[in-house]
Amino acid sequence: MSKNINVALIGNPNTGKTSVFNQLTGLKQKVGNYPGITVEKKEGICKLPRGVKAHILDLPGTYSLNTTSLDESLVVELLLNKNDKDYPDVAVVISDVENLKRNLLLFTQIKDLKIPTILVINMADRMSRKGISLDIEAMEKKLDTKIALVSTRKNTGIDRIKELIADYKSISSKPILDPNRISPEYFERLQKTFPQNDLYKLWLVITQDVNFMPIEKKRIQDATDFATKSKDELKKLQHKETVLRYQLINNILKETYKVDFMAAKGLRASMDKILTHKVFGYLIFFVILLTIFQAIFDWSGYPMDFIDEQFALGAEWIKNTLPPGIFTDLLAEGIVAGIGGIVIFIPQIAFLFLFISLLEESGYMSRVVFLMDRVMRPFGLSGKSVVPLISGNACAIPAIMATRTIENWKERLITILVTPFTTCSARLPVYLILIALVIPEGNFLGLSYQALTLMLLYLIGFGMALLSAMVLNKILKIKSRSVFMIEMPTYRLPLLKNVGYTVIEKTKSFVLGAGKIILAISIVLWFLGSNGYSDDFKDADQIVTERIENEGLSTYSKNYIQNNIAAYQAEAQAEGMSPTAIQDSIQVLSEELSERAVAQEIASYKLEHSYIGQAGKAFEPIVKPLGYDWKIGIAVLTSFAAREVFVGTLATIYSVGSDEEETIKNRMAAELDENGQPLFNLASGISLMLFYAFAMQCMSTLAIVKRETNSWKWPMIQLGFMSVFAYIIALIAYQILI
Amino acid sequence: MATVADLRHGQKGIIKDFTENTLPIKLLELGCLPGNSVELVQVAPLNDPIYINLSGSHLAIRRSLAELIELDIVEETKSK
């Protein structure tokens, strides 16, 4: 028989379940989503002794089979459904030696489902330090199972797990607690009505708020008054069940588990005193935040520039090597540029998740939640929203991915919806160029107006996120059952292997998940920008060449050539070149420059008459009240793909032909409106900045929101609301300032 | 009636029998059962949430929840 053994890893959070999973499967793991929901599904293959293989499924961490979150419901659902292809042949419950009592609660519940269940006691390396001693043999007898004592940190005991899995047929599947002990009267009646069904499973179906496939909840409700027995009474029985289970566990542990408190040493108390201190706690958190920011903002700049260059070179190479034609253009400008637009985010995502997983692995993250919970409460959020919201100031994509740690769906959804208001790094180039253009130099209390404006924009973004969270909290009618409760795990040195896996896995899921959508939209945008229906577009080369022949180059192009030549001349003279040599090379240079100028004017003309250009013109009446002309309109429109293309698009339209910020800035400053006044003035500049502050202009974020909420509904609401809101604010700002 | 919310730093209490079903089942599963001990480990800077040691489980809960857990405070002579 070559069928793989189906194994389900189950355990409380913070027991090192993921470490065990990583040790068992190595890199032979697959991370996906459960169909229809956004709970992560991790599975992998493990080679066992005697040539057998096991399919390992890492179920979400849960404290018990009484569910309060989507993740936990999923565990119960799988364990109740014998027909599921992942239904385990054997369950492996991972426990932590320090919290064994609590972990055994889950163990007894799983065992009562009559699934062969192995107990793994992890973190054995901490036993001596905590003064714990175990009698494994006696415990195996009492619990009627096999136990593996494991330390994933020291890499011991993993082979024992593999042995036990391979030998799963010899593991008992007898239940531990007889449900009749909870309430004889109630369970007898239940058994009489459903003689075919297992009592404990029936009980779970009745008490859980989930629908389970094999035993239909509705049938039970319709047939009897078991479920309609008042909620209070059911809850009382659940309480009783828990008490009974603990009695059982206490009896077992009394004889097999000893803790010598005198020998116990812990860092916890002293570290917590500092890390959750009224002053130092916040200070340390602040320093850590600064480091994360520095990494995402600054350090990731180097790999990002490198990626940017490589893709530009790649596109260039394709254009020069392949025969010219629509296919080559598609490849170079659509596909390669599109993939580049995805890959460019990898450094930021990798950095953020490097830090997040370090913080989580070490146990510090729970302390952050503890410190910040009260601060976030007025906005309908909890401490768990802090990290995503702050990460949003670097990039909304990893920030939204980081909301997965929020169990409460309503809170998580609100966090996802408001995060894009925070000032991500893609807004920065837009802000910087506009601030330099329209905000006067000068000081206020030693701070420059320009720096103050930038700071204000950051505050506006964060404030808006909190404000809309408050509003959403009032509007959204989502039932959320879970109470705020977070475990404060012991501090541990992060396992590099786990951190590495997390970084790889998150990056991969971004590239594969959001990547597809981004690539598709890039191709569409490329198509719209490089095609047009009018004759103007088709004959652009000819029209522009003719115009240049008749009227000469545009004033801007002329200036561009002159300035470049003047600069070259000055440089050459400074270097002491002979006048004739200078004259000769200027000749060559000016030919080159005018060739480039012509190409730029053609590109600009083409863009003006492409579908996007046409759209920009059609769009003009809409953006006119905000103080923009059709050119800015196009830049705003293309920015809906990603904000940072604003500068690049303007460069193309103004046929500047270089991404050199200074050049574009000068060109923008020279742009006049129909009255001969500078187009970029205080009013239009501020209106533009506010528009960028509030509008949802990032298709990557939309793609990730779609993925995380599993529907187009939320990203579309986000896009609609934020854009309309941005428009209104920009309109008001312009009309007041003008 | 004293509750977990009344504990002072380092103070311990023994959870009383509760008859009402006001406590979430999750809290029970984490060890909040009659007769078990609770110790206040830390209080967050803004006085809420609180960080407790619930018979070996280290948890942070909000004050509103802590007020629901009744207990007998063990007057401990500070030995530290």
Please check whether residue A219 lies inside any domain of the structure: yes
Across the range A74-103, mean pLDDT stands at 90
Find out whether A75 is annotated in a ligand binding site.
no
Name the more confident of A647 and A307.
Answer: A307
Residues A691-708 pLDDT 10s: 999 999 988 899 889 988
Using the beta-carbon criterion (under 8 Å), do B26 and A63 form an inter-chain contact?
Answer: yes
> Token digits for A359?
């913080």
Gap between the Cα atoms of A259 and A22, Å rounded:
30
For A220, A235, A295, the CA distances from A698, given in Å and listed in that order, are 48, 47, 22
Largest CA distance in chain B: 37
Across the range A159-176, mean pLDDT stands at 92
One domain for residues A166 and A188: no
Q: Is A661 exposed, middle or buried (0-12, 13-18, 19+ CB in 10 A)?
A: middle
- Which helix (H) or strand (E) covers residue A29, if one does? strand A29-33
Using the beta-carbon criterion (under 8 Å), do A484 and B24 form an inter-chain contact?
Answer: no
Find out whether A415 is annotated in a ligand binding site.
no
Please check whether residue A366 lies inside any domain of the structure: yes
Write down the pLDDT at residue A495. 86
Chain B residue with CA closest to A372: the answer is B44
Using the beta-carbon criterion (under 8 Å), do A239 and B25 form an inter-chain contact?
Answer: yes
Using the beta-carbon criterion (under 8 Å), do B27 and A272 form an inter-chain contact?
Answer: no
Using the beta-carbon criterion (under 8 Å), do A268 and B58 form an inter-chain contact?
Answer: yes
Sign of the CA dihedral with A346 first, then A351, A354, and A355 last: negative
Contacts of B48 in chain A (CB under 8 A): 373-374
Q: How confident is the model at residue A655 (pLDDT cuts 50, 70, 90)?
A: low
Please check whether residue A119 lies inside any domain of the structure: yes
One domain for residues A26 and A101: yes
Across the range A659-681, mean pLDDT stands at 76
Intra-chain end-to-end CA distance of chain B, in Å: 28
Q: How confident is the model at residue A211 (pLDDT cuts 50, 70, 90)?
A: low
B-interface mutation test, from A104, A485, A486, most B Cβ less than 10 A away: A485
pLDDT at A656 over 60: no
State what percent of residues in chain A have pLDDT above 70: 92
One domain for residues A140 and A26: yes
Write down the pLDDT at residue A109. 94
Using the beta-carbon criterion (under 8 Å), do A371 and B33 form an inter-chain contact?
Answer: no
One domain for residues A115 and A32: yes
pLDDT at A313 over 80: yes
Contacts of B45 in chain A (CB under 8 A): 276-278, 281-282, 371, 374
Please check whether residue A61 lies inside any domain of the structure: yes
Contacts of A282 in chain B (CB under 8 A): 45
pLDDT at A118 over 90: yes
Residues A412-443 pLDDT 10s: 999 999 999 998 878 887 888 898 889 888 87
Given a contact cutoff of 8 angstroms between Cβ atoms, the answer to whether A382 and A407 are in contact is no
Write down the pLDDT at residue A55. 94
One domain for residues A193 and A214: yes
Find out whether A387 is annotated in a ligand binding site.
no
Gap between the Cα atoms of A637 and A314, Å rounded:
27
pLDDT at A658 over 80: no
Please check whether residue A381 lies inside any domain of the structure: yes
Q: How confident is the model at residue A557 (pLDDT cuts 50, 70, 90)?
A: confident
Contacts of B28 in chain A (CB under 8 A): 239, 242-243
pLDDT at A1 over 60: no
Q: How confident is the model at residue B79 (pLDDT cuts 50, 70, 90)?
A: very low
One domain for residues A150 and A229: no
Q: How confident is the model at residue A408 (pLDDT cuts 50, 70, 90)?
A: confident
Gap between the Cα atoms of A663 and A373, Å rounded:
47
Given a contact cutoff of 8 angstroms between Cβ atoms, the answer to whether A492 and A96 are in contact is no
Contacts of A364 in chain B (CB under 8 A): none
Of B33, B42, B62, the CB nearest to A246: B33
Q: How do strand A5-11 and strand A53-58 relate by DSSP bridges?
A: parallel
Residue A333 carries which DSSP code?
A: I
Which residues make Cβ contacts (< 8 Å) with residue B79, sequence separation at least 6? Answer: none
Name the more confident of A102 and A1.
Answer: A102
Chain B residue with CA closest to A281: the answer is B45
- Given CB atoms, is B65 within the 8 Å cutoff of chain A? yes
One domain for residues A201 and A56: no
Please check whether residue A630 lies inside any domain of the structure: no
Gap between the Cα atoms of A265 and A129, Å rounded:
6
Q: Coil, helix or strand for A341? A: helix
CB atoms within 10 A of CB A547: 14
Chain B residue with CA closest to A489: the answer is B58
Write down the pLDDT at residue A32. 67
Write down the pLDDT at residue A166. 92
A-interface mutation test, from B17, B37, B57, B63, most A Cβ less than 10 A away: B57
Of A137, A170, A203, which residue is a domain's last?
A: A170
Q: How confident is the model at residue B76 (pLDDT cuts 50, 70, 90)?
A: low
One domain for residues A114 and A185: no
pLDDT at A214 over 60: no
Please check whether residue A540 lies inside any domain of the structure: no
Residues B6-61 pLDDT 10s: 999 888 999 988 766 778 888 888 888 888 889 998 899 888 899 999 888 889 99
Chain A residue with CA closest to B48: the answer is A374
Contacts of A374 in chain B (CB under 8 A): 44-49
Gap between the Cα atoms of A617 and A631, Å rounded:
8
Contacts of A485 in chain B (CB under 8 A): 24, 26-27, 30, 59-61, 65
Of B21, B30, B49, the CB nearest to A239: B21
Given a contact cutoff of 8 angstroms between Cβ atoms, the answer to whether A317 and A311 are in contact is no
- Which helix (H) or strand (E) covers residue A184, if one does? helix A184-193
Contacts of B60 in chain A (CB under 8 A): 366, 369-370, 373, 485-488
Question: Which chain A residues touch B if contact means CB-CB below 8 Å?
Answer: 63-64, 66, 68, 98-99, 101-102, 105, 232, 235-236, 238-239, 242-243, 246, 268-269, 272-273, 276-278, 281-282, 366, 369-371, 373-375, 383, 482-490
Gap between the Cα atoms of A478 and A114, Å rounded:
35
Q: How confident is the model at residue A569 (pLDDT cuts 50, 70, 90)?
A: confident
Write down the pLDDT at residue B24. 82
One domain for residues A66 and A88: yes
- Given CB atoms, is B74 within the 8 Å cutoff of chain A? no
Of B24, B48, B59, the CB nearest to A488: B59
pLDDT at B78 over 90: no
One domain for residues A192 and A159: no
Of A459, A494, A529, which residue is a domain's last?
A: A494
Name the more confident of A406 and A303.
Answer: A303
One domain for residues A12 and A133: yes
One domain for residues A292 and A422: yes
Which of A25, A176, A7, A10 minimizes the C-alpha distance to A95?
A10
Q: Which domain holds residue A243?
A: 179-257
Supply the CATH number for residue A21's domain.
Answer: 3.40.50.300
Cα-trace Rg, chain A: 32
Please check whether residue A524 lies inside any domain of the structure: no
CA distance B44 to chain A (A): 6
Of A66, A272, A277, the CB nearest to B25: A66
Using the beta-carbon criterion (under 8 Å), do B25 and A282 form an inter-chain contact?
Answer: no
> Token digits for A301?
């700049």
Across the range A626-643, mean pLDDT stands at 85
Across the range A472-487, mean pLDDT stands at 81
Across the range A129-154, mean pLDDT stands at 91
Residues A505-518 pLDDT 10s: 878 877 776 677 66
CA distance B42 to chain A (A): 8
Find out whether A18 is annotated in a ligand binding site.
yes
Find out whether A11 is annotated in a ligand binding site.
yes
Of A170, A204, A224, which residue is a domain's last?
A: A170
Name the H helices within A326-408.
Answer: 326-329, 337-343, 346-362, 364-376, 386-391, 396-401
Write down the pLDDT at residue A137. 92
- Given CB atoms, is B6 within the 8 Å cutoff of chain A? no
Find out whether A123 is annotated in a ligand binding site.
yes
The count of domains in chain A is: 3
Listing DSSP states for A531-590 in one string gives --SSHHHHTHHHHHHHHHHHH-S-HHHHHHHHHHHHHHHHHHHHHT--HHHHHHHHHHHH
Which of A656, A615, A665, A654 minimizes the C-alpha distance to A636?
A615
CA distance A66 to chain B (A): 8
